[in-house]
Structure 1
Amino acid sequence: MEIALYIIGAIGLILAWLALDLHLGRKKHLKESKRLKFPKRQSEIFLYADGNLLYKDLYHDMRHATSHIHSLFYMVRDDHASKEFLSILKDKADQGLEVRLLLDYFGSFDVKKETIKELEQHGIEVEVYHKPAFPFFFFSINQRNHRKITVIDGKIGYVGGFNIGKEYLGQDPEFGVWRDYHLKLEGEGVQDLQAQFIQNWEQAGDFPPGEWGEMYYPELVKGPITHKLVPTNGGHLTDTFLKLIQKAEKSIIICTPYFIPSEPLHEELLSALARGVKVTVLVPAKADHPLVMDAAFPYFKTVISAGAEVYRFYLGFYHAKVMVIDDHTCDIGTANFDKRSLFLNNEINCLIFDKEFVHKTVQEIHKDIHNSEKLTLEFIENRSLMAKGREQLSKILAPLM
């Protein structure tokens, strides 16, 4: 009995230390964080919801680069898809172009040291972001650079939810069809993607702020679509989402792999439902991480009870990060509708204010809903005791999901 009490006490102390580490680490980070703010811009914007089409255009643009390639990915796998990506970077560096690759430490853990050394031998500059560090070790291993940004010649920019790996092409049998949303920008907005990449690059390498001239910021023409890039660094994302939800008069569509909102967002969704706004939530039927789906069920239950419709994509895995407000605004980017994106990760989203583009996005979402099943309160109530037990455990771990 005495030994059991010692064990319980030790576990309690460890949990208390982890919670304190996370709290103080985030507090220090927010105090020191320098968040970039961008104005509304005008660009041509192309939407991708299929990884094969995205890679085709991304790799084509990379192969035709003439000046430089700056690429930041949260996750780069060790498979044939990543080998093609890295091969293009090596070829362009061999041609004399400036090539920089920025990887998240945990997200791109598959990239071997030998691979990085080989890239550097070709003249590619490689930096790794968010390496574990003291004094707030637990916070440092949880905070991740979740952005996916590629800038080519300062004139073409890519941003969105796709990483680099075979699953994003639908070639992993564990996940099957992979649905995600990504953007290609040509026009004024590219300078903001460049600025965000450069800030992260200097932070990762602990470089002093440099002079980045015309090569990186060429003159850009205005495009037809009004938009605004919104980076967040483990804070401010709740405010962005709240403002979008509060503007809704008719409908809100939320597409996300993880539906674990903060309390203010949860309450704002319930308020929107109460004033007659139609709320639709689209999530995957299968989970790619333990407990994340279980953590969503308490929120599913309350929003469905208030009149929302929740659909679960069953054709494969659903990784989209999209919010659509009425028929005039949509948000597409790297941030999930979960507490990790809200309170820990570095993210970047693109707010798009264009009815035609919003219409195209909604058409893609309707394809996803067609391959989804509607979640019911009956299903939620009739889950197994084990599933409901996982739900209770997930409530404790929700801040890290």
Structure 2
Amino acid sequence: MIVLFIIAIILALIYLDGKLGMFAFQHKNKKIVYPRRLSDISFFINGTHLFSDYFAEIRQAKHHIHILFYIIKDDETSQPFFQLLKQKAKEGVRIRLLVDWVGSFSLPKSLIRSLEASGIEFAYTRKPRFPFFFYRLNRRNHRKITVIDGKIGYIGGFNIGKEYVGKDPNFGEWRDYHLKITGEGVHDLQTQFLRDWEEATKTAIAKGEYFPPLQAGTITHQLIATNGHGLEKHFIDVIGRAKKEIIIGSPYFIPSRSVMNALLDALRRGVDVTVLVPLKADHLFVKEAAYPYFYRLLKAGARIYRFYQGFYHAKTMVVDAEWCDIGTANFDKRSLFLNCEINCYIYDRHFVHKVKKAIKHDLARSEALTLDFWKKRTLWDRGKESISTLLSAWL
């Protein structure tokens, strides 16, 4: 009884911490909507191809390299990355490396000291502290941004580690979407990186030298940075405007009630809704947490597919072959209400067609989820689903 009482007290304190923290940070959780820009954009779906291009551009850097990742592992894939950054710092290139405290917690202190000894500026973002420790612990910076010389930018779902290039046998092929941007949009990626750096380090940066003149590209796009607020409304607005088709790709599918209702409304309007998620799970309970939503969507006529050839980690939405979203936000409550995310909305039919082609290829390597399968879940699966529902806001 004493143990149960202590557990109940701890859970109550965590709940109170979360609620009070959310209330205290409401006025700070603002979204940043950057203007529509014109850039040239390359689309990557394979980690090996992405990092080959990424490392090549880093090697050509002359002035500065700004990097933000949620996760950087200390393994055989990240070691060449660290060595390359050290080499560029030795050449006189200014390097700022920002990583999330939780996502990259496993980085050894000895490695960080060696980076700093090489002249690389290193910082953690979103270190938890009191008050509201538990709430702060859950407010992660999930963005992935790189800016090279103020002229080349990267944004998307890939982090740095062996699984992201398909070298982890537990996951196999890693399917993700990432963008390389050259043109006007790089200024906005730079602005957002510097915002995050200054928040993490409490150090203001003279910005003039980091914003060289940029030529307009050919693809209209817009960057949206959210901080636990605003993304829900964007998703609802886009879903509400859909006339023919909505495709959602995400490793986690735990929408808010309002977003779920928007999807059901779209189905009632006759819009085709397709959802693509992984068959495997990379975190406890996240797969089961999606099942109640899948059941309602399947009953309403949606199509749900589970990618079985590796792990599907892409974060994307396509609406009516005219608009698509690629970025860092998952289709879950954590991205909607807790994490710092950045998404790129693209308004270009040719580029959207390219994204749809990639999704079609991924759907061909996926299995359809049916109502019959859902009804035949085991008692153990149903139990995990019940627990997942209770924890869904924090998964």
TM-score bracket relative to the smaller structure: over 0.9
Please give the root-mean-square deviation of Cα atoms over the aligned residues, in Å.
0.9
Aligned partner of residue 363 in structure 2, secondary structure:
helix
- Could you tell me which amino acid in structure 1 is paired with residue 146 of structure 2? T
Paired with 1:35 and 1:203, the residues of 2 have a C-alpha distance of 15
Residue among 198, 206, 212 paired with 2:207: 212
Residue among 182, 186, 203 paired with 1:190: 186
Deviation at 1:126, TM superposition (A): 0.3
Deviation at 1:140, TM superposition (A): 1.4
Could you report, residue by residue, the CA deviation over 1:256-312 in whole angstroms, capped at 9, with x for unpaired residues?
Answer: 000000000000000000000000000000100010000000000000100000000
Paired with 2:3 and 2:115, the residues of 1 have a C-alpha distance of 47
What's 2:106 paired with? 110
Could you report, residue by residue, the CA deviation over 1:11-50 in whole angstroms, capped at 9, with x for unpaired residues?
Answer: 2222221111112212222323454331100000010010
Paired with 2:156 and 2:362, the residues of 1 have a C-alpha distance of 17
What's 1:236 paired with? 230
What's 2:128 paired with? 132
Aligned partner of residue 80 in structure 1, secondary structure:
coil
2:143 aligned with 1:147: yes
More off after superposition, 123-132 vs 31-40 = 31-40
2:69 aligned with 1:73: yes
More off after superposition, 284-293 vs 24-33 = 24-33
Paired with 1:177 and 1:156, the residues of 2 have a C-alpha distance of 27
Residue among 48, 52, 59 paired with 1:52: 48
2:168 aligned with 1:164: no
Paired with 1:190 and 1:293, the residues of 2 have a C-alpha distance of 35
Q: Which sections of structure 1, spanning at least 5 residues, go unmatched? A: none
2:244 aligned with 1:265: no
Paired with 1:267 and 1:10, the residues of 2 have a C-alpha distance of 38
Paired with 2:389 and 2:30, the residues of 1 have a C-alpha distance of 31
Correspondence 1:271-282 to 2 at 5 A: 271-282=265-276
Aligned partner of residue 331 in structure 2, secondary structure:
coil
What's 1:380 paired with? 374
Q: Which sections of structure 2, spanning at least 5 residues, go unmatched? A: none
CA contact (8 A) 2:30 2:230 kept: no
- Could you tell me which amino acid in structure 1 is paired with residue 230 of structure 2? H
Paired with 1:47 and 1:36, the residues of 2 have a C-alpha distance of 24
Aligned partner of residue 210 in structure 2, secondary structure:
coil
Aligned partner of residue 354 in structure 2, secondary structure:
helix
2:317 aligned with 1:323: yes
- Could you tell me which amino acid in structure 2 is paired with residue 64 of structure 1? Q
Correspondence 1:287-366 to 2 at 5 A: 287-366=281-360
CA contact (8 A) 2:29 2:229 kept: no
- Could you tell me which amino acid in structure 2 is paired with residue 391 of structure 1? E
TM-score of the two chains, using structure 2 as the length reference: 0.98
Aligned partner of residue 258 in structure 2, secondary structure:
helix
Paired with 1:352 and 1:327, the residues of 2 have a C-alpha distance of 11
- Could you tell me which amino acid in structure 2 is paired with residue 275 of structure 1? R
Aligned partner of residue 104 in structure 2, secondary structure:
coil
Deviation at 1:143, TM superposition (A): 1.1
- Could you tell me which amino acid in structure 1 is paired with residue 236 of structure 2? L
- Could you tell me which amino acid in structure 1 is paired with residue 335 of structure 2? S
CA contact (8 A) 2:30 2:229 kept: no
Shift in alpha-carbon separation, 1:368–1:217, aligned structure 2, 3 A:
same
TM-score of the two chains, using structure 1 as the length reference: 0.97
Aligned partner of residue 253 in structure 1, secondary structure:
strand
Shift in alpha-carbon separation, 1:290–1:205, aligned structure 2, 3 A:
same
- Could you tell me which amino acid in structure 2 is paired with residue 256 of structure 1? S
